[in-house]
Structure 1
Amino acid sequence: MYPSRAQRPRFRDTEQRLALARAFGTGANEYHDARPSYPPEVTDLLDGAGTVVDIGAGTGKLTAALARRHAVLALDPSAEMIRLAARYAPAWQATAEHTGLADASVDAAACAQTWHWVNVPLACAELDRIVRPGGVVLLAWNTIDVSDPWVLRLTRIMHAGDVLRPGFLPEIAAPWAIAREVRTAWTDALTPPEIIALARTRSYWLRSPQRVRRRVQENLEWYLYEHSRYRPDSVVALPYRCDAFVLSRTRTAMRTGLP
């Protein structure tokens, strides 16, 4: 089963995709403090893998969780972000399309909150080169669950443009195919200031001028404090979906099928 274009994250063109991705090159400490980690159901998908490379590791949210069970390597295009990820594993600046790893050097690769930024055919070819025979690739996304109208309005104020539709499938290329899907729901407990900090890690905020940032912050403060009557120390349950996909090489996926 392959994704329809309507289910994929959409960019106007390659330059827009790259420009939005480059926005994450600043504010690494704020990003690490504000962004959530991943539910254990995600890391469980790589049980049995020896060496795992976390591609697009960012500040190391998934890297840290994987390092409890695996020998982990980490890479990211942002020098500022990968400096933080290096606290958890050997790390260097590189991309999904050009990792710098040797042929057949890892048992698995993970891409969390990353895949929609990459050139899919080039990244899939690079994964085929570096992942050993029988190895797998994990793709994962945390997405704010906008099924609640209050949350939907919040994400619109935040300009959280990476909200993916329920049931979406990632774009992939040969020789990889989806061998397993795991979709789970979970909740992050945040105070209003932490929600505002989360908004500051979004690509829209990072690439916007100060006047736009001020407007977004003012709108968030109004929505949280005046409209919703939260206090700064209130705890807001922010619902998330986590969509995870295990990829294996096509002939293996065809033989085993979906579980």
Structure 2
Amino acid sequence: MTEGNSGFINPFAATVGRAEAVEYEETRPTYPAGAYDAVLAASAHGVGSAVDVGAGTGQFTRGLVERGVRTVAVEPSSAMREVLQEGSWAQEARADLVGGGPLLEVVAGTAEDTGLAADSSDLVVWAQCSHWLDIPLAAAEAARILRPGGALALVANQLAVEVPWVHRLSRIMRSGDVVRRERTPDLGPLFERPLLTEVGWEQSLTVEQCLRLARTRSSYLAASPARRAKMQDNLRWYLLEHLGFDPIAPFALPYTTLVWTARA
């Protein structure tokens, strides 16, 4: 799919090369422990295996693997897959662990067409990618590859826009609510009504790291060179001049992670 639910053209397939994938890996945050607790509790029979759809460079995948879950990372971008597989944690997880088989497999695919076997997983995760999906098709594919009683989890790291200065920051970065807590995802008749868990936390980063974070956003990647420069200038002004942040010392950026889970 090239177009998400918002009607915005997904720029990742066309604009993300190795440099962009490396910046994504280095600046995008991981996920709080509470998000994993909610996701792993969703399946009716526990989670021994999972599929992380739209895995990117592995921000959510890594936490699954660290918790001993055998995980298939499905990612359409070759650059993202390449950077994911270069991580030391991923290399270790892809090795045969004392004859028990690898904890991690990385494959090319999409949410709508994973290429995986039917009834093969306890959990399917859409982390930070649901806004790009054809939800009815992706939900049908998730239901196909899930075992009976398995669960689908939609996970979104979002800036805590209820905080006034963060709300303005999100407007400047054009990275506000991707999904909204008051809008329960409609996963269709193949899933139970999703349940919402919210987890608050903070990312520690410097002004320069925040500028780099903004460069990984789809709104930046889809913009013209002139527009990109303007977005970075506005963000630099807001952080350094308006908010008066130290140019070197880290500051705390509040997030809320929204986790919707639904059993097939």
Q: TM-score range by the shorter chain?
A: 0.7 to 0.9
1:54-203 residue pairs with structure 2 within 5 A?
54-69=52-67, 70-86=69-85, 87=87, 88=90, 89-203=104-218
**Shift in Å, 1:235:** 2.1
1:235-246 residue pairs with structure 2 within 5 A?
235-246=250-261
1:46 — aligned with what?
A: 40
**Shift in Å, 1:168:** 3.2
Deviates more, 1:52-61 or 1:40-49: 40-49
1:33 — aligned with what?
A: 26
Q: Given residue 135 of structure 2, which amino acid in structure 1 is its aligned partner?
A: V
Unaligned 5+ residue runs, structure 1?
1-8, 250-259
Q: 1:31 to 1:162 in 2, by over 3 A?
A: farther
Asked if the contact 1:32/1:59 (under 8 Å) is kept, the reply is yes
Unaligned 5+ residue runs, structure 2?
91-103
Q: Identity over the aligned pairs, expressed in percent?
A: 38
Q: 1:98 to 1:10 in 2, by over 3 A?
A: closer
TM-score between the two structures when normalised by the length of structure 1: 0.85
Residue deviations 1:225-251 (CA, integer Å, cap 9, x gap): 1222222212221111111011112xx
Residue deviations 1:60-104 (CA, integer Å, cap 9, x gap): 000000001201110111111122233422101100010010111
Q: Given residue 25 of structure 1, which amino acid in structure 2 is its aligned partner?
A: V
Asked if the contact 2:12/2:77 (under 8 Å) is kept, the reply is no
1:19 — aligned with what?
A: 10
**Shift in Å, 1:177:** 2.2
Count of aligned residue pairs for this structure pair:
237
Q: 1:188 to 1:168 in 2, by over 3 A?
A: farther
| In structure 1, distance between residues paired with 2:180 and 2:53 | 23
The SS at the match of 1:177 is coil
Asked if the contact 1:113/1:142 (under 8 Å) is kept, the reply is yes
2:94 — aligned with what?
A: none
| In structure 2, distance between residues paired with 1:43 and 1:244 | 9
| In structure 1, distance between residues paired with 2:186 and 2:24 | 26
Asked if the contact 1:144/1:163 (under 8 Å) is kept, the reply is no
| In structure 1, distance between residues paired with 2:229 and 2:61 | 33
Asked if the contact 1:75/1:95 (under 8 Å) is kept, the reply is yes
Asked if the contact 1:24/1:78 (under 8 Å) is kept, the reply is no
